[in-house]
Structure 1
Amino acid sequence: MSAVSLESVPLTRLRPMQPTDLPEVFTIEQQAYVFPWTLRILQDCLKAGYRAWVLEEGTHLVGYAFLSVAAGEAHLLNLCVDPSYHNRGYGRRLLNHILQLARQYQVDMIFLEVRPSNIPALHLYTSAGFNQIGVRKNYYPHQNGREDALIFGMDLTG
């Protein structure tokens, strides 16, 4: 067994998203999705006061998340990790932070939608304790027309 030098482990930190982060967030969004959110949507989310967080490795932004909180519920609107940083635990770190925030806001339930074709996201959400509670037919744009959204929820009262 070999020890890992602390110098070789990248430093990461979570912080609230700033408007100056949006160009880098938008670049990641475009790299991660065939049908990305527009820069205007990202800007509007910040203006609307959604809880938006970024995850940095050193000085590089590697992921972000948007959370809406209202009326005792939370909705994870977007959680995204730069594709070149996949499979390093960053998505789980962001999700855990979002769940912690939702609990701090004392919400009863948190919801999200996910494409059935997004197998890594499905694994992340189910392994974190989310359960499928419904389907939104033809919700997402797709190369061949439309794709359903699976609706997931988690009870945070227990």
Structure 2
Amino acid sequence: MNPPGQEAAAVGVRLRPMTPQDLEVVSRLEPELFGAEAWSPATLAAELDRTNGPGADRTYLVAHLEDAAPAGAADPQEAPAAPGPGAADAEPIVGYAGLWYGDGRGDADLLTIATIPAARRRGVATALLNALLTAAADAGCRAVLLEVRASNESAQRLYATHGFKAIGRRRRYYLAPVEDAIVMRRPL
């Protein structure tokens, strides 16, 4: 039996590191997925800059589905056939996630995780979450923390399934609309 959060990802989910070329798509998805809480393109670029080189303390991933339609499309099954060589790079982004691991001596922080509506319940969030848990463990972190909207019960269930436990509440953490955050933690 696998430890919590280490279940195999759904067949057909492919992850790779986020690149600067992905920022246009991710910047377009942010407001669709997070509304007024969306990160700006400049914030996303600054975050991605912290994934490489001296002082790198974050990792960002994007997810693709083999049968996915373009990002934001209503039905992933409507995707045209992928073009010949290099087609993997042409696959639409259906999810993304980021993690701050600092110097690896303390707790990591799940910064963001998102899946387009048409790709939900297909293992994308699980694959992203498992990969970030592995990255945090590989960096030497002891645990992973996250904040989730108090009303987002489906995300809370996902995190609980992967070994996260609620450890507190941040009042009025989210601003648009104003809402508390549930703080969750998972030991590694």
CA distance in 1, matches of 2:44, 2:157: 25
Equivalent of 2:60, from 37, 52, 58?
Answer: 52
Shift of 1:67: 0.5
1:73 has 2:75 as partner: no
CA distance in 2, matches of 1:134, 1:10: 35
Shift of 1:84: 1.7
Shift of 1:10: 7.4
CA distance in 2, matches of 1:96, 1:51: 13
CA distance in 2, matches of 1:34, 1:119: 18
CA distance in 2, matches of 1:91, 1:135: 23
Instruction: Give the structure 1 partner of residue 6 of structure 2.
Output: none
Check conservation: 2:13, 2:124, Cα contact below 8 A. Answer: no
Check conservation: 1:52, 1:64, Cα contact below 8 A. Answer: yes
Q: Percent identity?
A: 35
Deviations 1:17-74 (A, max 9, x none): 0011011112222221222121121111112332111111241111111100123221
- SS across alignment from 1:129: coil
CA distance in 2, matches of 1:152, 1:29: 23
Between 45-54 and 122-131, the greater mean CA deviation after superposition:
45-54
CA distance in 2, matches of 1:131, 1:42: 28
Check conservation: 1:31, 1:83, Cα contact below 8 A. Answer: no
Q: TM-score, normalised by structure 2?
A: 0.73
Check conservation: 2:13, 2:127, Cα contact below 8 A. Answer: no
Instruction: Give the structure 1 partner of residue 45 of structure 2.
Output: 43
CA distance in 2, matches of 1:10, 1:23: 27
Q: CA RMSD in A?
A: 1.6
- Higher RCO, 1 or 2 (CA under 8 Å, sep at least 6)? 2
Aligned residues: 146
Residues 18-33 of structure 1: matches in 2 within 5 Å? 18-33=19-34
CA distance in 1, matches of 2:155, 2:181: 12
Instruction: Give the structure 1 partner of residue 128 of structure 2.
Output: 94
Q: Which has the higher strand share?
A: 1
Q: TM-score, normalised by structure 1?
A: 0.86
Equivalent of 1:115, from 135, 139, 149?
Answer: 149
Instruction: Give the structure 2 partner of residue 6 of structure 1.
Output: none
Instruction: Give the structure 2 partner of residue 150 of structure 1.
Output: 182
Check conservation: 1:63, 1:90, Cα contact below 8 A. Answer: yes
- SS across alignment from 1:34: helix
CA distance in 2, matches of 1:137, 1:80: 23
Q: Residue type of the partner of 2:65?
A: E
- SS across alignment from 1:97: helix
